[in-house]
């Protein structure tokens, strides 16, 4: 029988970690772009657009991410379209991320004083122009810390993609456990790797938050 | 023909009617001072003129554009009707010059160079040539308010609405702002000011409007109205603040 040394286990986990990172980055950036579009819709004061985003956000915040992964993985297959675990995980995580980012960013937009909207309105700027030149440059400063903080949730969220068979860190851990029967060692290493990915981000988020608090 | 024509305007916030049929005509070059107690509807009236507030009935026509709810061409209206606020509302992430340049470049599609030249001109007019590259946080309240005035002037407005623009200032900073407004009045700018500066209203205004309980209670030439207020409400008001 094949024997796994500690280094074999660790190196295999680290190889799978690459996929956790790739999936996190894609989910975060695609989620960010979708989130930005939703943010414009959510704050547009155009009723149908606001309602659509509200329902969208309620759905993705109000159901477990795992169910969303199942829906994308099995749901799209019902229409005869072959969906790879990779595609299903990317889609589900993107939409899930976008819903949370939209809500975080909406809070930041609403933190900008009403006078900024009124002054820019009075200068004949349109809604898009107000957002682009006046509101977002200010809101993005306060958005950095909570956004970086949320990226930790995205990384941890990718672990669920293991259940639909996408081989990332958690799935690799499960497979190695099945081969080695050393669950405590394997899952400790898995947890440690997640921690090494997430801790610098939380630390950075805290640091930015502190810096913004002393800034003008 | 009047530049701004307000006809029987009524507005309520919920059950609370704040404008109860206001009519007012403002000609080109008029300097209109609107005075009255807080809650008399004067700021609301001003905000209706550039569409920051909507009203329920009546009509407002400013520079030939009818201000009427959702169908108003607000962009066109606001290109010609400037507004200065009590709290300055400068954009804190932009320098004084960038604050002034924003609307001309974004709305009027003027080139950066041309907009910068305009910014230099209007900032010189308010006495802040040397502060072009200062951020709002580096300026005093009076300086910030003068930048806000310059920002409106850069759009070459036909009318400038001033909403209690000295009320948030320390007393020693009030005059530097009033001097700028007085200069504008002398140059023929049409101004509508909601103000608590009675002396300024009397000396610079060409028309005084006293609002009381959502109505124009008394109006006329400032010096005459202040010298001989006809209604007991204005007599009492002038007695309290004058």
Please answer whether residues B33 and B209 qualify as being in contact, where contact means their C-beta atoms are separated by less than 8 angstroms: yes
Q: What is the DSSP letter of A63?
A: S
> In angstroms, what CA-CA distances link B183 with A81, B123, B188, B191?
72, 13, 9, 11
| Per-chain mean pLDDT for chain A | 93
Please answer whether residues B155 and B174 qualify as being in contact, where contact means their C-beta atoms are separated by less than 8 angstroms: no
Give the global pTM.
Answer: 0.90
CATH dotted code for B4-241: 3.40.50.300
pLDDT at residue number A211? 77
- Residue given tokens 């340049």 in the structure block: B101
Is residue A214 over pLDDT 60?
A: no
Phi, psi values for residue B57, rounded to 5° = -150, 165
Helices (H), A2-135: 6-42, 47-62, 65-70, 76-78, 85-110, 114-122, 127-130
If phi over 0 gives left and psi between -120 and 50 gives alpha, with beta otherwise, what is residue B163?
A: beta
Nearest to B141 by CA among B161, B121, B168: B168
- pLDDT tens-digit map of A81-106: 888 999 999 999 999 999 999 999 99
Is residue A152 over pLDDT 80?
A: yes
**Mutation for testing the B interface, residue in A118, A124, A216 having most B CBs under 10 Å:** A124
Q: What is the DSSP letter of B141?
A: H
Nearest to A193 by CA among A165, A163, A172: A172
Rounded to the nearest angstrom, the minimum Cα separation between A158 and chain B is 37
Structural domain boundaries in chain B? 4-241
Nearest to B91 among A116, A122, A126 (CB): A116
Please answer whether residues B109 and B101 qualify as being in contact, where contact means their C-beta atoms are separated by less than 8 angstroms: no
Total H helices, total E strands in chain B: 9, 10
C-alpha span between A154 and A160 (Å, rounded):
10
Nearest to A124 among B75, B85, B90 (CB): B75
* Local confidence band at B242 (pLDDT 50, 70, 90 cut-offs): low
Are B107 and A123 within 8 A, CB to CB? yes
- pLDDT tens-digit map of B52-62: 999 999 999 99
Nearest to A162 by CA among A69, A29, A97: A69
Phi, psi values for residue B92, rounded to 5° = -70, -20
- pLDDT tens-digit map of B33-86: 999 998 899 999 999 999 999 999 999 999 999 998 777 789 999 999 999 999
Are B75 and A126 within 8 A, CB to CB? yes
CA dihedral B213, B216, B221, B226 (to 10 degrees): -20
With contacts defined as CB-CB under 8 Å, which chain A residues touch B52?
118, 121-122
CATH dotted code for A6-215: 1.10.3720.10
pLDDT at residue number B123? 97
* Local confidence band at B204 (pLDDT 50, 70, 90 cut-offs): very high
Structural domain boundaries in chain A? 6-215
C-alpha span between B215 and B213 (Å, rounded):
6
Nearest to B78 among A113, A115, A124 (CB): A124
């Amino acid at each position: 029988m094949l024997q796994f040394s500690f280094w074999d286990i660790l190196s295999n986990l680290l190889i799978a970690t690459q996929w956790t990172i790739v999936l996190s980055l894609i989910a975060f950036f695609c989620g960010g772009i979708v989130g930005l579009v939703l943010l414009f819709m959510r704050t547009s004061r155009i009723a149908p657009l606001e309602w659509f985003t509200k329902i969208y956000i309620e759905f993705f915040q109000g159901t477990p991410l795992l169910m969303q992964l199942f829906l994308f993985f099995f749901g799209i297959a019902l229409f005869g379209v072959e969906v790879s675990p990779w595609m299903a995980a990317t889609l589900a995580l993107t939409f899930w991320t976008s819903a949370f980012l939209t809500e975080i960013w909406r809070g930041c937009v609403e933190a900008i004083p009403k006078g900024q909207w009124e002054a820019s309105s009075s200068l004949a700027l349109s809604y898009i122009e107000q957002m682009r030149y006046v509101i977002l440059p200010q809101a993005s400063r306060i958005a950095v810390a909570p956004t970086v903080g949320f990226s930790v949730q995205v990384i941890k969220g990718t672990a669920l993609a293991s259940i639909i068979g996408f081989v990332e860190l958690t799935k690799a851990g499960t497979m190695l456990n099945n081969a080695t029967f050393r669950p405590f060692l394997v899952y400790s290493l898995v947890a440690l790797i997640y921690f090494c990915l997430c801790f610098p981000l939380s630390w950075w988020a805290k640091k930015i938050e502190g810096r913004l608090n002393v800034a003008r | 023909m009047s530049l701004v024509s307000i006809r029987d305007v009524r507005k309520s916030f919920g059950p609370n009617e704040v404008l109860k049929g206001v009519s007012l005509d403002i000609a080109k070059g008029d300097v209109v001072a609107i005075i009255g107690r807080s809650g008399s509807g004067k700021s609301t009236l001003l905000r209706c003129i550039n569409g920051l507030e909507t009203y329920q009935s009546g009509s407002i026509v400013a520079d030939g554009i009818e201000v009427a709810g959702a169908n108003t061409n607000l962009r066109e209206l606001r290109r010609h009707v400037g507004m200065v606020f009590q709290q300055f509302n400068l954009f804190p992430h932009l320098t004084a010059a960038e604050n002034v340049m924003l609307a001309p470049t974004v709305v009027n599609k003027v080139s950066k160079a041309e907009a910068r030249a305009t910014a230099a001109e209007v900032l010189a007019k308010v006495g802040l040539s040397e502060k072009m590259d200062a951020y709002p946080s580096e300026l005093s309240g009076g300086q910030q308010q003068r930048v806000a005035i310059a920002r409106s002037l850069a759009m070459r407005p036909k009318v400038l609405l001033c909403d209690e623009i000295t009320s948030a200032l320390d007393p020693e900073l009030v005059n530097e702002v009033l001097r700028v407004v007085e200069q504008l009045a002398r140059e023929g700018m049409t101004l509508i000011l909601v103000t608590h500066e009675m002396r300024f209203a009397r000396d610079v205004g060409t028309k005084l409007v006293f609002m009381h309980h959502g109505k124009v209670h008394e109006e006329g030439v400032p010096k005459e109205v202040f010298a001989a207020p006809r209604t007991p409400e204005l007599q009492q008001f002038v007695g309290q603040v004058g």
